[in-house]
Amino acid sequence: MNDSVIDYEKFSAADLVARVLHDTQGPACLTCSFQLEDMVVLHLLRRHQPDIPVLFLDTGYHFAATYAYRDRMAREWNLNLVNLTPVQSVAEQEAQFGLLYRSDPGKCCQLRKVEPLFRSLVKYDLWFTGLRREQSPTRKDLKVVEERERPGEKAQIKVNPLACWNWWLVQDYAAKHGIDPLPLYEAGYKSIGCEPCTSIPSAGADARSGRWGGTKLECGIHTE
Biggest CA–CA distance in the chain, Å, is 52
Give percent above pLDDT 90 in the chain: 68
CA–CA distances in Å: residue 175 to residues 36, 67, 171: 11, 22, 6
169-203 as b/e: b if 16+ CB within 10 A: ebeebbeeeebebbebeeeebbbbbbbbbbbebee
pLDDT bracket for residue 203 (50, 70, 90): confident
Which of 29, 32, 109, 219 is flagged as catalytic?
219
Torsions phi, psi of 62, nearest 5?
-70, 160
- The CA-to-CA distance between both ends of the chain, in Å, stands at 22
Does 219 qualify as catalytic in the annotation?
Answer: yes
Q: Which long-range contacts (CB under 8 A, 24 or more apart) does 67-70 make?
A: 69/34, 69/182, 69/183, 70/34
Higher pLDDT, 7 or 1: 7
Residue 3 scores a pLDDT above 50 = no
Residue 39 scores a pLDDT above 50 = yes
**∠ CA 93-120-139 to the nearest 5 degrees?**
85
Question: What pLDDT is stored for residue 33 in this prediction?
Answer: 95
Query: What is the three-class DSSP state of 99?
Result: coil
Q: Please tell me the pTM assigned to this model.
A: 0.90
Report the alpha-carbon distance of residue 180 to residue 188 in Å, rounded: 16
Domains, the chain, with CATH or none: 8-189 (3.40.50.620)
pLDDT bracket for residue 170 (50, 70, 90): very high
The string of pLDDT tens digits covering residues 43-86 is 999 999 999 999 999 999 999 999 999 999 999 999 999 999 99
